[in-house]
Structure 1
């Protein structure tokens, strides 16, 4: 019988941390109903204790296999639909090393299949596609406590909803609208204006889940920490391969 892996007895005692073997993961994902959801590009999954991403990576691989099978007539279409599949996967992990490993594992899984399709189509890896994959993964995988709904810094956990705005059967280049929600807002089914960015509401000057680069402080025009009237911003709709730019505009009103 295959054992469930552990890193240390102390981590098991302190955090209840165990790792599910891949064989068991796949058996669970083959359950009727779950299997079909894994094969739907836009069906969302939230793993509240993501660990190193065993379930999320396995689901991503299944979704990407569907992209290869049905949306792979050319490389551009694969790129668009593979990123769409990536937007549907979310995770929360309490321990920093696990959260970092989860992000890396998801990116590696995406990179490997993307590289295979680049070779199949005799194309080239596009940096902006990989950068957009990183932006989606880093926004969807959060370090924090699912039970308290708080990030490691004490701020509310924040996730991005990625809504396609131009989807048809013949769509080749997907346009996406990003909207931010706290985990509490998601549970309360709060309806928001499309593109709403709550980072400016939670903290006037620093996004709660991104570290401020020290070089930013030297830039002319940097928002002073004493500014009591920061401009509220919203995300603009962009092509899905350009989400890495995180383009924003001043919100109306």
Structure 2
């Protein structure tokens, strides 16, 4: 497991003028983040509602959404460590981000991991399970991507199509992973009227995954590389 770094909140709106000029990078401060998220407050507090931030920066929006989701997990499942861990994994796995700057991606993953550990420590500091933290860290490595949302490509050399994983609760104690191309999901959003992966009982369009994985335990997702 990599080192978990405790960081101060990143509130400054500008890192450097060069980054503003070259990448249009200006951070949204917490006041504006919370005001915007309050417009969809119910969804931000729902454990399994999915969010994608296509220019996530170091994660100001995602960290606040995760804070709200974990507060819901804590209020409902604090008395059971196993349920707390499983629903925390669901909460983390519902968040997705893309950024074109690699250091932002690294910071975003670390901040989200540390936010989970902050909640985990409050109730189970002496009983934390490394395999749970490893699962959270692995999911973040897949869900927060270094890439360009405009080209649908990773920023690696050579670039590859951006792929996101859907992590769905299955039978008790197990999760199902399916990988989908980001471009395919966006094309659907542009040409289809049916919602994507709706869990509200509506008609839905379910795209074809580029890879399908067998069921695995919540604490065994790191085996699905």
Same fold by TM (over 0.5)?
yes
Partner of 2:179: 180
Question: Using the alignment, how far apart are the partners of 1:77 and 1:62 within structure 2?
Answer: 17
Partner of 1:125: 128
Question: Using the alignment, how far apart are the partners of 2:119 and 2:213 within structure 1?
Answer: 29
Question: Using the alignment, how far apart are the partners of 1:95 and 1:137 within structure 2?
Answer: 16
Question: Using the alignment, how far apart are the partners of 2:101 and 2:17 within structure 1?
Answer: 15
Question: Using the alignment, how far apart are the partners of 2:123 and 2:32 within structure 1?
Answer: 28
User: Are 2:42 and 1:30 aligned?
Assistant: no
User: Are 2:116 and 1:110 aligned?
Assistant: yes
Q: CA deviation at 1:180?
A: 0.7
Partner of 1:99: 105
Partner of 1:76: 82
Consecutive aligned runs of 4 or more in structure 1 exceeding 4 Å deviation: none
Partner-residue secondary structure (3-state), 2:32 = helix
Partner of 2:197: none
Partner-residue secondary structure (3-state), 2:90 = helix
The Cα offsets for residues 127-177 of structure 1, whole Å up to 9 and x where unpaired, read as 1000000011111000101111110122100110111223xxxxxx43111
TM-score, length basis structure 2: 0.82
Which sections of structure 1, spanning at least 5 residues, go unmatched? 167-172, 198-233, 248-253
Question: Using the alignment, how far apart are the partners of 2:160 and 2:91 within structure 1?
Answer: 28
Partner of 1:224: none
Q: CA deviation at 1:188?
A: 3.6
The Cα offsets for residues 96-139 of structure 1, whole Å up to 9 and x where unpaired, read as 111111111111111111111204xxx51101000000011111
Partner of 1:140: 143
Partner-residue secondary structure (3-state), 1:30 = helix
Partner of 2:155: 152
TM-score, length basis structure 1: 0.73
One of 1, 10, 16 as aligned partner of 2:24: 16
User: Contact 1:4–1:19 at 8 Å: present in 2 too?
Assistant: yes
Q: Which moved more, 1:21-30 or 1:139-148?
A: 21-30
User: Are 2:78 and 1:62 aligned?
Assistant: no
Question: Using the alignment, how far apart are the partners of 1:97 and 1:60 within structure 2?
Answer: 20
Question: Hey, which of these two has a bigger chunk of helix by percent?
Answer: 2
Partner of 1:206: none
User: Are 2:162 and 1:162 aligned?
Assistant: no
Partner-residue secondary structure (3-state), 1:49 = coil
One of 12, 20, 40 as aligned partner of 2:46: 40
Which sections of structure 2, spanning at least 5 residues, go unmatched? 1-10, 189-205
Partner of 2:15: 7
- Rg (Cα) greater in structure: 1
Q: CA deviation at 1:4?
A: 6.0
Partner of 1:219: none
Question: Using the alignment, how far apart are the partners of 1:188 and 1:8 within structure 2?
Answer: 34
Q: CA deviation at 1:187?
A: 2.0
User: Contact 1:47–1:92 at 8 Å: present in 2 too?
Assistant: yes
C-alpha RMSD of matched pairs (Å): 1.7
